[in-house]
Amino acid sequence: MTNLTPPLWQRLLLPLLVLGLCLAVVYYLVNNKPKAERGRSVQQPVVSVEAMRLQPTRFQVELDSFGVVQPRTESRLIPQISGQVVAISERFRAGAFFEAGEVLVEIDDRDYRAELEIAKAQLVEAQLRLSEEQARARQAQRDWERLGDGDAGDLVLRRPQVAAAQAAIASARARLTTAELNLERTKIKAPYAGRVLTKLVDVGQVVTPSTELASVYAVDYVEVRLPLKSRQLQYIDLPEQYRDGGVSSANQPEVMLEATLGNRLYRWAGRVVRVEGAIDQATRQLYVVAQVDDPYGRNERGNPPLKIGQFVRARITGEQIDGVFVLPRGAVRQDNRVLLVEQGRLQARAVKPVWFDEHYVVVAEGLKGGDILSLTPLGTGAEGALVKATVDGQPLVQQAQKPAVAPVATTDPAG
């Protein structure tokens, strides 16, 4: 039988060759490491920003508020007598204007004219009885002087009868006055120049002293209650009233009321006339009352008349703040920090606002005249960035810092 097993040296040859090849590869890799060489530099990008140069100035504070138009006087017309409505004025309808003293409603007056004639007749009768009693009293006085002895009594001289006749005249005159008043009250007159808000009766209806005829309101001026926050009160001089009748200030701040009707914005000028005596418990705000004179008259602006119940926005003229910096609202971050352009780079700085509204932030501390404020919205990571600023529409020319250079590592495969 033939032995096919290869010799030992053949069996060891292949593993030794593989091991030698692996060692050669390891040796090559260890002695031929890739070398990092400095390549070309990449310049930090330059950010273009719009900016403005800051200067201290004076700022006019305007307080924003809102309210609803209310009449200064609103009344319910109620008759003082009973009767049937026989006539109404052409101006006695909802929305119509009327003047003070104008007759709006007429009630049937025939019964009251009859009562007036009766009262006049009773007064004449009472005057006649007084004349008769006075004549009898004079006759009694003469008779006593001729026949009597001593002092005559009141009954003898008919003094009680004369007094009763005089009282009857006073009573008749009072009835006459009442009759005249009732006849006058058959015509319901306007208590002031105003406008009809609601009309509740018409011709033919029988009314009593408890029947409401209409709701009317005065048109000489209207009022608007405006709430003010605590921070707003610091910058306005209000006419506060004191118990002795004095006022803290004669100043009546101007108010501009605004309302949008359709696609147009209308404005009405007014003034703050008084301050309410309590702070609203729900909102913790103080209400002031603005007054607009002649809100229903024609004006040069062509404004439509103000409507009762109309919602309006108010801008109240407050005090002026001197020596402050007025910044656009969008240039101030929520943490009260701004970005300034200094030596060609953006630098963050904290500021202290003293006033802000929907358009501006007014700063008193943290800035100085000549600072350049970046107006371009940038993220919080923009601090230190190299910038190219356009200040107030003109390119900024200044000595910029040397741009930072970041090395880029490259790998040379060839070693």
Q: Which domain holds residue 291?
A: 64-71+221-320
Residues paired with residue 337 on neighbouring β-strands, in sequence order? 350
- From 273, 300, 320, the end of a domain falls on 320
Regarding whether 204 and 337 lie in a shared domain, the answer is no
**Residue 118: what pLDDT?**
95
**Residue 412: what pLDDT?**
39
Regarding whether 339 and 282 lie in a shared domain, the answer is no
224: pLDDT strictly greater than 50? yes
Confidence of residue 21 (pLDDT cuts 50, 70, 90): confident
**Residue 408: what pLDDT?**
39
Confidence of residue 96 (pLDDT cuts 50, 70, 90): very high
- From 320, 343, 373, the end of a domain falls on 320
182: pLDDT strictly greater than 80? yes
Question: Taking the model in full, what pTM does it have?
Answer: 0.69
Regarding whether 350 and 378 lie in a shared domain, the answer is yes
Regarding whether 181 and 145 lie in a shared domain, the answer is yes
Of residues 84 and 251, the one with the higher pLDDT is 84
Contact (Cβ atoms closer than 8 angstroms) between residue 39 and residue 412? no
**Residue 415: what pLDDT?**
31
Question: What six digits make up the tokens of 289?
Answer: 């009352």
Mean pLDDT on 260-282: 90
Residue 262: left (phi > 0), alpha (psi -120 to 50), or beta?
left
Regarding whether 263 and 137 lie in a shared domain, the answer is no
Provide the percentage of residues in the chain whose pLDDT is more than 70: 88
Q: Is residue 36 part of a domain?
A: no
Q: Is residue 7 part of a domain?
A: no
User: Which helix H or strand E contains 211, and what residues bound it?
Assistant: none
88: pLDDT strictly greater than 90? yes
Q: Is residue 42 part of a domain?
A: no
**Residue 221: what pLDDT?**
92
Contact (Cβ atoms closer than 8 angstroms) between residue 122 and residue 178? no
Q: Is residue 309 part of a domain?
A: yes
Q: Is residue 20 part of a domain?
A: no
> Locate tokens 């009449």: which residue?
71
Regarding whether 206 and 248 lie in a shared domain, the answer is no
Which of 183-197, 243-257, 349-363 shows the lowest mean pLDDT across its residues? 243-257
Q: What is the CATH number of the domain that holds 266?
A: 2.40.30.170
Regarding whether 393 and 311 lie in a shared domain, the answer is no
Candidate ranges 30-34, 127-131, 137-141; pick with highest mean pLDDT: 127-131
Regarding whether 312 and 228 lie in a shared domain, the answer is yes
pLDDT tens readout for residues 380-408: 667 778 888 888 888 877 544 444 444 43
- From 159, 185, 211, the end of a domain falls on 185
Confidence of residue 2 (pLDDT cuts 50, 70, 90): low
Question: What six digits make up the tokens of 369?
Answer: 């005249």
**Residue 262: what pLDDT?**
83
How far is residue 105's CA from residue 335's CA, in Å, rounded to a whole number?
A: 66
Q: Is residue 19 part of a domain?
A: no
Provide the percentage of residues in the chain whose pLDDT is more than 90: 45
Q: Is residue 415 part of a domain?
A: no
**Residue 399: what pLDDT?**
42
Regarding whether 161 and 203 lie in a shared domain, the answer is no
How far is residue 271's CA from residue 253's CA, in Å, rounded to a whole number?
A: 6
Question: What six digits make up the tokens of 242?
Answer: 């004191």
Confidence of residue 12 (pLDDT cuts 50, 70, 90): low
pLDDT tens readout for residues 295-340: 888 877 778 888 999 999 999 999 999 999 999 988 888 888 888 8
Regarding whether 240 and 210 lie in a shared domain, the answer is no
Handedness of CA 105, 110, 115, 119 (dihedral sign): positive
pLDDT tens readout for residues 155-165: 777 888 889 89
Mean pLDDT on 150-155: 74
Strands 387-391 and 394-395: antiparallel
Confidence of residue 358 (pLDDT cuts 50, 70, 90): confident
How far is residue 232's CA from residue 64's CA, in Å, rounded to a whole number?
A: 9
pLDDT tens readout for residues 293-304: 988 888 777 788
Regarding whether 206 and 104 lie in a shared domain, the answer is yes
Residues paired with residue 214 on neighbouring β-strands, in sequence order? 77, 199
Mean pLDDT of the chain: 85
Number of domains in the chain: 4
**Residue 3: what pLDDT?**
54
Q: What is the CATH number of the domain that holds 343?
A: 2.40.420.20
How far is residue 271's CA from residue 252's CA, in Å, rounded to a whole number?
A: 6
Confidence of residue 98 (pLDDT cuts 50, 70, 90): very high
Which of 46-50, 257-261, 398-402 shows the lowest mean pLDDT across its residues? 398-402
**Residue 24: what pLDDT?**
76
**Residue 184: what pLDDT?**
95
**Cα 353 versus chain centre, distance:** 24
Regarding whether 305 and 247 lie in a shared domain, the answer is yes
Greatest Cα-to-Cα distance within the chain, rounded to the nearest angstrom: 205
112: pLDDT strictly greater than 90? yes
Q: What is the CATH number of the domain that holds 206?
A: 2.40.50.100
How far is residue 405's CA from residue 264's CA, in Å, rounded to a whole number?
A: 56
DSSP for residue 335 = T
Q: Is residue 206 part of a domain?
A: yes
**Residue 245: what pLDDT?**
75
